[in-house]
Amino acid sequence: MQAAAFDQYANDYDSHFTNSVIGVAQRNRVKAFTQKYFTKSSSVLEINCGSGEDALWIATKVKNIIATDASIEMIKVAKNKTQHSANNNLQFIKGDFNKLETIFLTDRFDIIFSNFAGLNCVSETELKKLSNHFSNLLNEQGKLLLVLMGTKCWLEKLYFMYKGETAKSKRRTQKSGVPTQIENASFLTFYYSPDQIKALFKPEFIVKEIKPIGYFIPPSYLESFIAKKPLLAKLLFSLEKRVAHFSWMANRADHYFICLEKK
């Protein structure tokens, strides 16, 4: 159902998030944390590539990148962008991340990258299986770079409590998943703390780095509010940079970046 949802959303994704004030600010934080891992010798596999915005940027820094997404419409949007790109080391492929080992039978990568909560659409049981799949797709000491939504976003709690929606202020702690609606399709979203990810991936990976993304930059559903207040946005974005290296804040942010290295 996730693919169906994002098929319907593909043509609007960039205008609603990628090019939004919040989307640009959060993506800049992702770039700040991940750029040191992308080198001219790196081979990269991106999963949940969406409209291809990250893949186009990564392609300027690495040897080669294959970007995948289960949504064929997202892949179409991404491929359209390459018409205006000089990067010939970038390939977009439709592919569900649960089936990557059947797609890449012999390929191995230095980095697997997933941005903006693609893996929050996956249950704990599925994540455990993916840990093994990802390990098999990586070279020795390969890196898994993930951006996920945590369980204790303080801005979200404050927002829903202000609105008097107490149940929603606690939704990220629901282990059974939170029903999510995009266009006419629905699916479950699961929220994971860094400690949960560490435990789920422990058999194959060790944690190297954890950083907050969106501790002061608000969740994307507050775009209409923040876009009208440029001075407030500037202040919040400045504060975000100041807390960039406090890993203990990660689970209290809207998203967090976690780097795992293959054992």
The per-residue pLDDT for 56 is 96
pLDDT in tens, 124-146: 999 999 999 999 999 999 999 99
Whether 187 has a pLDDT exceeding 70, the answer reads yes
Across residues 186-192, what is the average pLDDT?
A: 94
Question: How much of the chain exceeds pLDDT 90, in percent?
Answer: 88
Whole-number CA gyration radius for the chain: 18
pLDDT in tens, 234-263: 999 999 999 999 999 999 999 999 999 999
The per-residue pLDDT for 5 is 75
Average pLDDT, the chain: 95
pLDDT in tens, 14-31: 999 999 999 999 999 999
> Distances from the Cα of 80 to the Cαs of 15, 21, 56, 100, 178, in angstroms?
15, 23, 11, 23, 33
CATH architecture observed for domain 2-262 = 3-Layer(aba) Sandwich (3.40)
Specify burial of residue 113 (Cβ count, 10 A radius: 0-12, 13-18, 19+).
Answer: buried
Confidence of residue 184 (pLDDT cuts 50, 70, 90): confident
Strand partners, 210: 258
Whether 84 has a pLDDT exceeding 80, the answer reads no
The per-residue pLDDT for 101 is 86
Confidence of residue 1 (pLDDT cuts 50, 70, 90): low
